[in-house]
Structure 1
Amino acid sequence: MIFDKSKIPSTSGIYIFKKGIAPIYIGKSVNLKARISSHIENAKNDAKEAAIISNSDSIETIVTDSEFNALLLESKLIQKHLPKYNIRWRDDKSYLYIKITKKDKYPKCLVVRKENENGALYYGPFSSKNIASTIVSEIRKVIPFCTQLKITNRQCFYSKIGQCDPCPNVVSKITDVQKLQKETKIYQQNIRNIIRVLNGKTDIVVKKLRSQIALETKKKNYENAIIYRDRLTRLENFAKFQSFDTENLSEFNQSEKRLQSLQSLLGNYFEIKDLKRIECYDISTMLFEDSTASMVVFIDGLSDRSEYKRFKIKDQTAQSDFEMLHEVLIRRFDNKWELPQLIVIDGGKPQVRTALTVLLNKNIQIPLIGIAKRPDRLIIGDKKLFTIRPPRHHAGFRLIQELRDESHRFAKKYHTFIRNKKHAIISVET
């Protein structure tokens, strides 16, 4: 492929590597020229980049007015074409969408994994839960909306901080018909503005906010004017979308490289198609009292704290980490939580052997490893319990160490909380 750098703009937009008329890879960037040049330079040392370059015969670019609009357009084009080298998009289970539930009287804006409701609006797919959730979170700070699936009798938390306004829980209790209609109309207008933003029509919402600022100022409602001014500033900054450039975000790029490295390392022992979800377990105890355990979850190589679980050990007779780990894994797999592609245990051969027993008894086939200390090494969870010690700076090994450290931190935090609470009660009683 002949690449003429001078014809590529240094603006935000979409780039499409093509073979004939078929897209084989679609990406976005805040700087198209720099990003495409990076692809070509990286092809010298990266197998995937080399495959993209060698199998394409042309590059098409589409300029957008903001990186946010580039992200939305990228997701639409990837969903439409499913390019060969956009690998993460080819498994339906990993798709992430922003969903607007239009059928509801008070529509919701949610992050979901599948398109499963006729009549709802879907935007995506997006490359990670972190990106989709951050988009929704940022929009909510500008345009309030509700995420509760059912209306309840209590004002929700987000309404207290201005991110669910008007709150459907409050509106549903209004008996004055005119006021009820007014508040409902405001909420539905908010949803229409969210749809405009997700359709790339941010300029319309900007104009509406400016009009609202002028109106509130004219009425001398200066506090309201300041609220709308702050929302306008946030929306304008959000539309630039600088901080969400997944192609340039070093953390995101690094996580993909570490996952590929780990998958390659473990591929010698397990058949692993992907490592979308990894769970790591650790036990925290002191003389087998107030014992706790943690389950931390990494999605796409990055921690997802919304998926974390903590356990207080119920078996007061347990006198070893193995017994506690056995209890925790039983409780975990008795729940219908999403299954991981890899389980990591903070511990050596005895802990891994315990985890293997639980998996075998429950007829669950998930790759399992342990990470033992002094020095750090991996225990392969099979009958032979092989021990491997990857190079110190091995990217995949570093990912497992990070998982272990985070699991230890989370378990210890809960253990400390329980001990402090217990000692505070004893202190009061004495």
Structure 2
Amino acid sequence: MKAQLKEIPHTPGIYKFFSKNSIIYIGKAKNLKKRVSSYFGDSLKDPKTLKIKLLTDKIETFSTSTEAEALLLEQSLIKENLPRFNILLRDDKTYPYIHFSMSHKFPGISMKRSKHAVSKNFFGPFISMHAVKATIKDIQKIYQVRNCSDSTFSNRSRPCIEHQMNRCSAPCVTKVQALEYALDIELAQSYLSSSGKQTKRLLADQMEKLAHKEDFEQANIIKQRIASLELLQQEQSVNSKISSADFFACTSSHGKTGACILSIRDGKIRGTKTYFFKDDLLGEIDLLLESLIFNYYQNKFSLPEKIIFTMNSNHPELIQEGIILKFQKSVQVSNRLPSGSKSVAKLAILNANQVIENKIKQSEKYDHAMSSLSSQLGLTVSEINIEGIDVSHHSSSHAVAS
């Protein structure tokens, strides 16, 4: 092992620890030589690091230009190899996306479930089906895009109730021209990939152009859409100071860890996603946050303007640099809560705590409490008997133990 350690360079990069030709741990480092050597020094190790040290029989390293590049490579290799000692987000669930059927002359909007975005026509992932349905409803109110299936569309002979409720422009019976409808689809997609302010600005520009051409009828339709968008923002806003942010909360209790991602878009809560881990991982908070972020975000459309940690990360700037490198989009990553966001942060922490309470049994809580008590008292026995002694007395003195 000493011979292998001598060959490790003083560069940023990733390292892989092997045991009997199987990868047991993958990590990243700003200085590979220092980081890898720290595992095999004589200093006291935590139980996990000690196991890695004892089991490792081979080391491989790969140098990168920057630590941010190492971070992205680390996350990619962890997903691919699933080493036993890494923090693994084993999430085989599919997530709801908003999908536009762009192959159709008059594209429709619908919800589809997938592990990741299959094409640029998928927008998301959203955290709940409710969030997708609510967003589709919002889009229909503003842009009147159809949400029927292609078979229903081809068999319509008259407008449906969606048209009567001003939620669809009825392209099925040519109530709208293909070019005009295509523009509505483009604006609807812009609504999903940009902020409400940007969408409002695009609509205002369109209205001005129509008015300049003296097409006042169409300009009035756009004016009504702007009014609908403003009303929607007023109705659904929970915090006007936070337009686009994801709050990451991680808590530990009873030797377990809970994590919650709470998403806010255009001042309204889109939804929450929670994770449960069977170990206390707060001692590895940076590794945990990196795993959560680079597993959760699949494309730049799903990124918020801000990522906020309710606990202290030691290297938020590294995560920020990694996001820019992977998605070519700048996102503010911070440990500091923005003004007026304390109640939202508390909600994220509440959900992180709740996932622990929901997952563990009462017996596990007692087992962890007894284990902690043994550790505090320096006891090594596996079973502890606690005896209570009832002490009575005849008066203010002369105490008698029974």
TM-score (norm 2): 0.36
Structure with max Cα Rg: 2
Q: Normalised by the size of structure 1, how large is the TM-score?
A: 0.34
